[in-house]
Chain A
Amino acid sequence: DTGVSQDPRHKITKRGQNVTFRCDPISEHNRLYWYRQTLGQGPEFLTYFQNEAQLEKSRLLSDRFSAERPKGSFSTLEIQRTEQGDSAMYLCASSLGGTGKNGYTFGSGTRLTVV
């Protein structure tokens, strides 16, 4: 297993455009998380899936953001009508269960720049 994969690594988009990011978790992991990290800050939780069910969404996740995990495997995070404030690193993580050191593993992230 190659770990958690995220695609693309970098994305530059014009304000107002829609973007979609993909995350492929470790295959046996049933939980998948999305975080956002702005410059100089720690990552902030956005949303969480257990298998295909989205069980929690942060208040940071405005109506322009939507995440899916259709078959309980990979996940997508879409941002509609991007704004400059959306510029950040978007990190995906997966785990087997939610506690303990059950391989809570992060991907390398997608760095979004909105111009």
Chain B
Amino acid sequence: AQKITQTQPGMFVQEKEAVTLDCTYDTSDPSYGLFWYKQPSSGEMIFLIYQGSYDQQNATEGRYSLNFQKARKSANLVISASQLGDSAMYFCAPLGEGYGKLTFGQGTILTVHP
């Protein structure tokens, strides 16, 4: 079974500053990829960014980028120029072993201060 660790239950950041959300995982599946999702208080899961295991470069999507260190099984999300609307729960989710199911970490609550 996979184990996902998000060590920061809560993070605070000033508006317009950058913030890094940590994620480490333990998987034996060599063909995994990893997603990050944002979940605001309304409950929907919003896709942010995906990193394929064999991608040569770290993934970027607008203000979101991944600091992917495969050997350390670490995939930290970097949000640049934080906005008030970034306040939400953030989940790291590697693809599971078989059939594309996701295994989620405990999440990190991000609060952006004005």
Q: Do A and B come from one complex?
A: yes
The residues of A with any CB-CB pair to B shorter than 8 Å are 31, 33, 35, 41-45, 48, 50, 55-56, 89, 91, 93, 95, 97-101, 104-109, 111
A-B contact number at CB 8 A: 72
A-side binding surface: helix, strand, loop or mixed? strand
Query: Considering only CB atoms, which chain B residue lies closest to A97 in the complex?
Result: B100
A89–B102 CA distance with the chains assembled, in angstroms:
16
| B43-54 interface code vs A (CB 8 A; 1 in, 0 out) | 111110010100
**Contacts A98-B95, A99-B33, A104-B47: A43 and B100 contacting too (C-beta < 8 A)?**
no
B104 interface residue, CB < 8 Å from A?
yes
A7–B91 CA distance with the chains assembled, in angstroms:
24
A93–B37 CA distance with the chains assembled, in angstroms:
13
18 other contacts beyond A104-B47, A108-B44, with CB at 8 A cut-off?
Answer: A31-B99, A33-B100, A41-B106, A41-B107, A42-B104, A43-B104, A44-B104, A45-B101, A56-B99, A89-B43, A98-B100, A99-B100, A101-B35, A104-B102, A105-B47, A109-B43, A109-B45, A111-B43
